[in-house]
C-alpha cells in the first residue's frame, strides 16, 4: 500500500506537523505517481534502494512493494518518528540524517545501490554532484527535481540550459529526462513543475577530473564571452590549437571531449590522458 492524499493530511494533522518550506517539503500524495516512479526506477527483489527525503513514506512504500530492500533517509527530526511508524512495519530501514553530510561509505558499503529521491531545489544539484563524485556504490539514480534543474542536468552543448553542471554530470553518467510529474499530486502544491531524471553511472573519460572541472568552471563563469578571454591564464596560449578548439568559441558550444582536451593544457603544462 501507499499513502493517499487523505492519509497524508491526517498524518500531518494528528502529529501537529506541517510541510517546512525551509526544507523544500512537498509530499507526493498520489499512489499512481509513486508506483510509476518505482517502475521507472527499475528495481525489484534483490536490489538495494536508498531514498533521500523520504518524508512521510509514500514513495518509500511503493519502492518496498517492488520487493527491493529499502533504506530511507530523512533530515527532519519531526517527521522521522512518523516515518518510522509508517514504513518500518514494511521492513524499511530508516536513517535520520542530512544527505549532504552523511558518511555514505559507512552507510552503503561497496554493494551496488540504486538511489531514488524527491529532491528540493536548494540541494538537488550539489547533492547529485557529490554522490556522483564520492559514492561509486550508487550505480543508478532516479531523481525528481524541478523541471529547470532537470533541464540543466541533461542539457547538451548549444542549449540555453547547458552549463558547468551539465558537463560535470556527463563526466560521470548518462542522464535523461524520463517523465514529468504534475503539480497537482503534491501536498502542498508547488509553484513549478517537476521532472524525473534517470542517471546511470559509466566509466569516466581519460583525463584529470580536477583539472577538467576547474577549466569548465572558468569557462562558464562568463558564458557569453569567448574562451580566449574566460580561460586566459587558465590554459596555455597554445591550448586551443592543440585541443582543436576555436579560441573564439563560447563555453556552451563545447562538449565533454573538447573540455577534456583543453584541460590537458592548463597553465601548469600538458598532462597525459
The domain that holds 258 is classified in CATH as: 1.10.8.100
pLDDT digits (tens, 9 = 90+) for 108-129: 998 899 999 999 888 999 999 9
Q: Are residues 238 and 194 in the same domain?
A: no
DSSP type of residue 250: B
Q: Are residues 84 and 133 in the same domain?
A: yes
Scored b (16 or more CB within 10 A) or e, 137-148 reads bbbbbbbbbbee
Q: Are residues 56 and 173 in the same domain?
A: yes
Range name among 5-19, 50-64, 141-155, 203-217 with the lowest pLDDT average: 5-19
Q: Which domain holds residue 11?
A: 5-201
Q: Are residues 131 and 217 in the same domain?
A: no
In this model, does residue 216 exceed pLDDT 80? yes
Q: What is the pTM of this model?
A: 0.92
> What total number of domains does the chain contain?
2
Q: Are residues 260 and 234 in the same domain?
A: yes
Whether the upstream peptide bond of residue 244 has omega within 30° of 0, thus cis, is: no
pLDDT digits (tens, 9 = 90+) for 72-112: 999 999 899 999 999 999 999 999 999 999 999 999 998 89
Cβ-count burial of 215 within 10 angstroms (0-12 exposed, 13-18 middle, 19+ buried)?
A: buried
Cα distance between residue 271 and residue 125, in whole Å: 29
- The packing angle between helices 209-220 and 164-172, to 10°, is 160
What CATH number does the domain containing 145 carry? 3.40.50.150
Q: Are residues 171 and 214 in the same domain?
A: no
Amino acid at each position: 500500500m501507499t499513502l493517499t492524499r487523505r492519509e497524508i493530511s491526517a498524518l500531518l494533522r494528528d502529529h501537529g506537523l506541517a510541510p517546512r518550506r525551509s526544507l523544500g517539503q512537498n509530499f507526493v500524495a498520489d499512489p499512481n505517481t509513486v508506483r510509476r516512479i518505482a517502475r521507472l526506477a527499475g528495481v525489484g527483489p534483490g536490489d538495494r534502494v536508498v531514498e533521500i527525503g523520504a518524508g512521510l513514506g509514500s514513495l518509500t512504500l511503493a519502492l518496498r512493494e517492488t520487493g527491493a530492500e529499502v533504506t530511507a533517509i530523512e533530515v527532519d527530526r519531526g517527521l522521522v518518528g512518523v516515518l518510522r511508524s509508517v514504513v518500518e512495519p514494511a521492513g524499511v530501514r530508516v536513517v535520520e540524517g542530512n544527505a549532504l553530510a552523511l558518511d555514505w561509505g559507512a552507510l552503503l558499503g561497496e554493494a551496488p545501490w540504486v538511489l531514488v529521491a524527491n529532491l528540493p531545489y536548494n540541494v538537488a544539484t550539489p547533492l547529485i554532484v557529490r554522490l556522483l563524485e564520492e559514492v561509486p556504490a550508487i550505480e543508478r539514480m532516479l531523481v525528481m527535481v524541478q523541471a529547470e534543474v532537470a533541464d540543466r542536468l541533461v542539457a547538451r552543448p548549444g542549449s540555453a540550459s547547458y552549463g558547468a553542471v551539465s558537463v560535470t554530470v556527463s563526466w560521470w553518467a548518462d542522464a535523461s529526462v524520463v517523465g514529468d510529474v504534475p503539480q497537482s499530486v503534491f501536498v502542498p502544491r508547488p509553484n513549478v513543475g517537476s521532472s524525473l531524471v534517470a542517471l546511470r553511472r559509466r566509466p569516466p573519460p581519460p583525463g584529470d577530473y580536477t583539472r577538467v572541472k576547474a577549466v569548465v568552471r572558468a569557462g562558464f563563469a562568463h558564458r557569453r564571452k569567448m574562451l580566449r578571454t574566460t580561460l586566459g591564464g587558465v590554459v596555455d596560449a597554445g591550448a586551443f590549437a592543440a585541443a582543436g578548439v576555436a579560441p573564439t568559441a563560447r563555453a556552451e558550444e563545447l562538449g565533454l571531449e573538447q573540455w577534456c582536451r583543453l584541460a590537458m593544457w592548463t597553465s601548469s603544462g600538458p598532462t597525459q590522458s
